[in-house]
Structure formats: structure tokens, C-alpha cells
A and B are shown apart, each in its own frame.
Chain A
Amino acid sequence: MSTQHTATSDNYYVPGLSHWPITASVAMALLGFGAAFSMNNMTGGNLLLILGFIVLFVMFAGWFSTVAHESEGGMYNRQVGMSFRWGMSWFIFSEVMFFAAFFGALGYMRLYSVPDLGSIEHQQLLWPGFKGDWPTAGPHFKAGDFTPMGAWGIPALNTALLLTSGVTITIAHWGLLKKNRAQLIWGLAATIALGMIFLGFQIYEYSHAYSAMNLKLTSGAYGSTFFMLTGFHGFHVTVGTIMLWVILFRSVAGHFTPENHFGFEGVAWYWHFVDVVWVLLFVLVYIL
């Protein structure tokens, strides 16, 4: 693999001093201490958390708008654009590995720990009557039976929504490449709408699970994996939607050219990644 060094006409952009990194570091300190304190009901925890989120928000807004302005100001040559693309790809890879840990936990429970708990020795010695079938809340679950989440209602609809949103964002991308601003903006708007409907359904599904199905985060192995996997995915959809909003505003403001639009592309990649994770979720969590 040979890398092309196209940008020798002007130098690689090395920014000057910036206070955003140290701001982010302050935010993380506030959030770390705040979360630890408030989870242990210690005084000041919630205050630190709120402060942390405020600083974090200011940091993101400030840092990203700096980058957007530098980009629009023409400071980034193609080599910088290439850096952004490598960076985003590896970031997404790290996210894949984060989800892999939770998918791994699901697989381990279904294939090993739950069947083991229902094995002959355990049935005789520890957990009489526990069959080890999936879905389960484990052999010692006290809060009554729950109904597992079916696949073919809202989840199937959500799958369709997300897959469609993958199409609409591609249509938006085509619009950008063809210099058709309207197509870009409407494609993005449709993507955002689909993402938000998805999130709405997800919220409805959760509240239905809690109120009508006795299915909770605390419902043993099934509850833990179901809510943590779909929850982290939902969080990523939320982040993706926020990023799409930013890209929409920037598009309306006339940002991006067919040659220079890493911001758009990065978010589109992220959106596709969220999409793929959902398909995995749909198969491994809902159907199987």
C-alpha cells in the first residue's frame, strides 16, 4: 500500500496553542469525580456532574466550530483531509471493539454460563428446577416472570427505518457531490427524521417493557444484555443524530464542497456504523 503525498504545494496544518484540550480534561475530571460521588450518594456529586456536562458541551461546541472554521477557511490540504479519514476509521474500529465486549458477554451467557447453570450437577445441587433455557433472568431471580421482547413489531420497523436512513444519507451525499444543495439538505433532513423516529420508538419500547412486560435492566442475564446492548446503541444513535443536525446546519450555511467535506463523510460513516450494529442487534438480540 503506497500513500500518495499529494500535498506538497502547501504545508500540513499544525494548529497553534489551543485551550480546548485542557478544557476537555477539566470536563473529564469533573465527570469522573461527579459520577463516582453521585453513585455513592455523596454530597456535591450531582453538582460536579452537571458542571462537567456543561464544560463538556462548551468544549465540544467550541472545538468543533474551530475545526469547521479552519476547514472552511481553507487551511486543510488534502493530506489533512486524509488524516481525518484515517482517524475517523480507527475511531469507528474502537467503537466496534467496545460493542464486541457486550456482544461477547451475550454470547458467553447464552452459550456457556446459562446452560452451565442449568446442567445436571447444578440442577441437583444448587438450582433445582432451573432449566438453563434462553431467555432467562437466571436461576435465582425474585422479581417474577418477564416477557422477552419480540422481534417482529417495533424492532422490525426500526430496522426498516435505520436501513432507509442509510439510503437517505447516501442520497444526500450524491447531492453534495453533484452540487445539488437542496438534495443534500433534504437527504440530511430525512435521515435525521428517520433517526428521531427510531429513537422515539425505542423510548416507547423501553417504557412498554418496564410497564407491561416486567422486563427491566435488573431482569438478570436477559435484562442486562438486552438493555445494555440496545441502550448503548440508542446512545450512539442519539450522538449520531446530534452530529447530523450539526452537519445539516453547516450545509444550510453553505459549508462543504464536492472536494472538501470530511465533516459530512465522517458523520455518514458513523451513521452507517450505527446501522450495522443495529442489524447485528436485531439478529442476535431480538430474533435469535
Chain B
Amino acid sequence: MSTATHDHAHGHSQDGGHAHDDHAHDHKPYGMMRWLGSTNHKDIGTMYLWFSFSMFLVGGVMALIIRAELFQPGLQIVRPEFFNSMTTYHGLIMVFGAIMPAFVGFANWLIPMQIGAPDMAFPRMNNLSFWLLPPAAMLLIAAQFAPGGGAGVGWTMYAPLTTQAGPAMDLTIFAVHILGMSSIMGSINIITTVLNMRAPGMTLMKMPLFCWTWLITAYLLVASMPVLAGAVTMTLTDRHFGTNFFNAAGGGDPVLYQHIFWFFGHPEVYIIAIPAFGVVSQVIPAFSRKPLFGYASMVYATASIAILSFMVWAHHMYTVGMPVETQLYFMYATTLIAIPTGVKVFNWVATMWKGSLTFETPMLFALGFLFLFSLGGFTGLVLSITPVDVQIHDTYYVVAHFHYVMVAGALFSAFAGIYFWLPKWTGRMYNETLGKWHFWLSLIFFNVTFFVQHFLGLAGMPRRVPDYALQFAEFNAISTIGAFGFGISQLLFLYVVVKCITGGEKAEQKQWEGADSLEWTHLPSPAPYHSFSTPPALK
């Protein structure tokens, strides 16, 4: 506890959902202001996670609308404009509203505990980072009701479609601006926390890998988010103030938008993937009861992925018309990324080698991640080969690729992390049987949904279309069935989490035998409201 000038109400939580413990200074503010005005990294982390889950449901409903329309060829359920709007906002909401906030939630909960810090470096700015998300979500949702409907421009927001779209586009642009501010502030906070708030003795190379992955991710965010802000700002001024950035008649070029967007966009995919690597790098060693194999090489591999990710953006633009030399460069550079990625995959496998493995739900999700993320990496390699990509760019093959890395990769790793840390966060255990059900249902339905999309893409089905040729009918029907199964399985997840919070069995301090970071070794379950107000003593 820092000073006497706290202006918040002291008192114990009246909130029955949060188990009490007997820590004398465990003052929790109560009422609305506990959340609206929070400066507590745990509460803010919780808000991030619940926000992320609700956006996951919103984006999920949009996905199901898309899949419902694609169940059969022909136009059945929605108008094409609305379909396009759904693909757009599904992508934006899942990327910026669901996946990214989920991992920021993890960062908030875990980084201070794992490095022995009392909180994040800037607790108030931390709260602002979170509270910028709801206005952005409101803007994105309001865009659906703008005159002319949502902007059916795709989550990549390419000009010149965006420079001609209706008012929904402006709401979307401002949402992106606000999301960018949130990410930049959140990242500055994380970088500063990791660099400046470590307990004495916690050197950088002793940090749990999760902290490393977030340090690197935060760097990627600070470097790439402002570039996205620049891109959508140019779109905005082209739309309303007569600039000609993306207009060839004025000397600009729509392709310029693509360059700027993907300079942000490719790092963005690693912004999503790298924290997922971090979570998996905590979970796999814990259930292998062995330290992570090749810790230092993991750090270097992550850093090289981050550096390389700024040099490969035009692999999204092979078909846009560029010199062969440029295509060659981007092809070689892109395939290079497979090397550090491979280092990581081999390290995870080597961690399990001769470990005494058990397969609780977090481990199952981590293994699901390992298999399916690698598969997504392989299809990425296929796509990185220019002559191949020219054939399958903008087909369902690409859709399959990125869902393997984003859903079976990032999302599965987030599930692994939730199950792994729920006991520490809530002091209670989730139901292991139901957790395993959630895993197997997700795994099976995920593959039913997306595996067939590889074949659709190879056979030439373009993405972002509400109707398609008859030859694609069977695989699309299968994919839709899988999608609904996947969606419903996630309600089971909600049930498991709520059950755990409200009535799970009491968890132990070190619920997982092999877990060895500070939150398990030094803090009880649930972790007290304020932890490490004075730095822990480390060897």
C-alpha cells in the first residue's frame, strides 16, 4: 500500500463471486467505481477477458450468419451487401475485439505477478486502455445501422472501395483509431512494466517466457499500430477532404493503401500469434514436468520473428502487380520466417520429450495448438510461394490458412491459458470432464469447419462471396455444420467458466505440479487483490 492519499473507498468486497482470503491488506473497492475507475491490474485483466469473450460471441454470431448463407449455393438468407458487411465486421471484431484483448487480459493478470511487481507501471493508463475498447465496439456495432448499412469492404479495408463506401466507413475508421490508441497505450504500459518493474534478481533472461513474448508483442504493436492509423487517416481524408493518396487520377495509387496496410498487417498476425506462443510455453513445460527446452533460443526465435515480420508484408500482394524481383524478395523473406517458427515448434516438442506427461484440459488445448498451428504454418509456407499464391490468393485456401493460425492457434492457446490460470485467478477448479469435452468438441468441429476449406480453395472457390458454383456445395455444407457445432461448443466453455467461478472446488496454491513461475510459487490461490506490494525475495 503506497500512500495515505488514496481517494478510493476502502473496504472488503461485497461481491460473493470472489472468494475471500484472509489477507489483511486485501482491500477491494466496491460498487461500479471498482470497475470504472480501476487501477488494479487483476480487475482490469478480468474486464479485458470478459470484454473479449463478449466480442467473441458477437463476432461468432456474424460468422454463423456467413456460414448459414453459405450452407447452400444461391442466395437464401441475407442480401449480398449485408453478407459483405458481416465478413468485414466479423474479421475486425474477432481480431481487434476478441483475440487481441484476450491476450492483453492475460498480460494484465500475469505480468505483474510473474515478475514480482505490485501492479502495471501506469495503472490509470491501464484502465484507459481497457475503457477505450467499449467506445470502439460501439462504433463498430453502430456502423451496422448507418445509412446504407455496414461497410462491406473487408477487414483489410482496401481502397478504392473504402473511399466510396457510406457513412459506416467513417464509424469504422474512428473505431480503428480508438482501438489503435488502446493498443499503443496498453503496449507502452507492458514494455515499461517489463523493463522497469521486475523484482530485484528477476533478470530479463529469468523471466517466464510469457513476459518475453509480451515484451516483443508490445514492441510490434507500438511500431505497427500507428502505421495502421496513418492508413485509415489517409482513407478518411481521401473520403472527405479531397486528398488523393489512393486515387490514380491525382497521382496516388490504391496499391499504396495495400502497402501501408500490410506493413501493419503482417506484424499484426504475429501480434496475435506471439502471446499465444507465450501461453503455450508456460503450459507445455508445466504438464511435461520439465523446464522449457531451449529457453534462450525461444527468446531469440521470437525476436527474429518480430524483426522479420516487418520485412515480408507484400506476400499479401503478389497478385497486385509488382516486379518479379520484388516478388522473389518477398517470397524468400517470407519462407525465412519458417525457420524461427520451426525452432519454436521443435522446442515445444523437445520439452515434452521424456517428460512425465499428463493431459489435463490446458495441456490438451496446448497440444491442439501445437498440431494445428503447425498445419497453419505449413499452409502459410505454401502461400508464400509466389506462383502458387497467384493461383490461390483470395480463395478459401487462404481462409483455411489463417483460421488454422488464428483459431486453432491463438484462440486455442487462449483457452489453454484460461483453464491453466483459472485456479489461480478464482481460487477454484473448473470441471475437468467438461473442460475436456470442450476441447474435443472444439477440436473436431474446428476441423470439420476449416479443413474442407483447403479443398474449396484449391478448387477455386473465392472468398468473400455469398453465392458459389454448384460444385462447391458439399464441402460448404460440411463447413457450415462444423461452424454451428463449434459455436455451440463455446457455450459449454462459458458454462464451465461460470461454474468454476461460482462453485468450483477449492484450488491449491500450486494447482499444477509442474508450474514454477512466481504466481504459483509465491502467491496463494486466489491471488490476493494486491500482490507483491514489496518485491519478493528471489535467489
Q: Is the CB of A101 within 8 A of B227?
A: yes
Chain B residue with Cβ nearest A225: B245
Question: Least Cβ distance of A65 to chain B in Å?
Answer: 13
Q: Is the CB of A139 within 8 A of B251?
A: yes
Tell yes or no: A42 within 8 A of B by CB. Answer: yes
Q: Which of B167, B229, B252, B256 contacts A40 (CB 8 A)?
A: B167
Question: Least Cβ distance of B318 to chain A in Å?
Answer: 17
Tell yes or no: B259 within 8 A of A by CB. Answer: yes
Q: In the complex, what residues of B have CB within 8 A of residue A19's CB?
A: 33, 36-37
Question: Least Cβ distance of A20 to chain B in Å?
Answer: 6
Q: Which of B117, B119, B242, B249 contacts A139 (CB 8 A)?
A: B249
Question: Within residues 79 to 120 of chain B, which ones have a CB less than 8 A from any CB in chain A?
Answer: 117-119
Tell yes or no: A167 within 8 A of B by CB. Answer: no
Q: How far is the CA of A73 from the CA of B5 in the complex (A)?
A: 10
Tell yes or no: B510 within 8 A of A by CB. Answer: no
Chain B residue with Cβ nearest A13: B2
Question: Interface 1/0s, chain B 233-256, versus A by CB < 8 A?
Answer: 010110111111101111111011
Tell yes or no: A279 within 8 A of B by CB. Answer: no
The verdict on A105 contacting B200 (CB below 8 Å), with A17-B33, A93-B223 known, is no
Chain B residue with Cβ nearest A30: B135
Question: Within residues 50 to 87 of chain A, which ones have a CB less than 8 A from any CB in chain B?
Answer: 63, 73, 75, 79, 82-83, 86-87
Question: Least Cβ distance of B78 to chain A in Å?
Answer: 24
Tell yes or no: A218 within 8 A of B by CB. Answer: yes
Q: Is the CB of A102 within 8 A of B230?
A: yes
Q: Which of B119, B127, B135, B243 contacts A217 (CB 8 A)?
A: B243
Question: Least Cβ distance of A117 to chain B in Å?
Answer: 6
- A4-12, A176-184, A199-207, A248-256: which lies at the B interface? A4-12
Q: In the complex, what residues of A have CB within 8 A of residue B174's CB?
A: 31-33, 35-36
Question: Least Cβ distance of A275 to chain B in Å?
Answer: 19
Q: Is the CB of A113 within 8 A of B253?
A: yes
Q: Which of A25, A94, A139, A221 contacts B225 (CB 8 A)?
A: A94
Question: Least Cβ distance of A125 to chain B in Å?
Answer: 13
Question: Least Cβ distance of A15 to chain B in Å?
Answer: 5
The verdict on A221 contacting B251 (CB below 8 Å), with A14-B39, A17-B39, A32-B177 known, is yes
Tell yes or no: A211 within 8 A of B by CB. Answer: no
Q: Is the CB of A18 within 8 A of B223?
A: no
Q: Is the CB of A17 within 8 A of B2?
A: no
Question: Interface 1/0s, chain B 128-155, versus A by CB < 8 A?
Answer: 1001101110110010000100000000
- B181-189, B345-353, B466-474, B517-525: which lies at the A interface? B181-189
The verdict on A90 contacting B191 (CB below 8 Å), with A75-B2, A114-B251 known, is yes
Q: Is the CB of B122 within 8 A of A140?
A: no
Q: Is the CB of B250 within 8 A of A21?
A: no
The verdict on A223 contacting B243 (CB below 8 Å), with A138-B251, A141-B250 known, is yes
Tell yes or no: A95 within 8 A of B by CB. Answer: yes
Q: Is the CB of B250 within 8 A of A90?
A: no
Q: How far is the CA of A102 from the CA of B121 in the complex (A)?
A: 31
Question: Interface 1/0s, chain B 24-36, versus A by CB < 8 A?
Answer: 0000010001101
Q: Which of B142, B181, B203, B249 contacts A2 (CB 8 A)?
A: B203
Question: Interface 1/0s, chain B 378-404, versus A by CB < 8 A?
Answer: 000000000000000000000000000
Question: Within residues 493 to 539 of chain B, which ones have a CB less than 8 A from any CB in chain A?
Answer: 530, 533-535
Tell yes or no: A210 within 8 A of B by CB. Answer: no
Q: How far is the CA of A59 from the CA of B404 in the complex (A)?
A: 43
Question: Least Cβ distance of A23 to chain B in Å?
Answer: 9
Question: Interface 1/0s, chain A 96-122, versus B by CB < 8 A?
Answer: 011011101100110011101100000
Q: Which residues of B contact A (CB under 8 A)?
A: 1-3, 5-9, 29, 33-34, 36-39, 117-119, 121-125, 127-128, 131-132, 134-136, 138-139, 142, 147, 167, 170-171, 173-175, 177-178, 181, 184, 187-189, 191-192, 195-200, 203-204, 222-227, 229-231, 234, 236-237, 239-245, 247-253, 255-256, 259-260, 263, 530, 533-535
Could you list some 23 contacts between A and B, CB below 8 A?
A1-B204, A2-B203, A3-B195, A11-B534, A12-B118, A14-B533, A16-B7, A21-B128, A22-B127, A32-B177, A39-B240, A87-B121, A87-B122, A90-B222, A94-B223, A101-B229, A105-B245, A136-B251, A138-B249, A141-B249, A141-B250, A218-B243, A220-B250
| 15 additional contacts (CB under 8 A) given A32-B178, A228-B234 | A3-B196, A11-B2, A12-B197, A13-B3, A17-B29, A17-B38, A32-B135, A33-B139, A83-B122, A87-B122, A87-B125, A113-B251, A139-B249, A218-B242, A220-B251
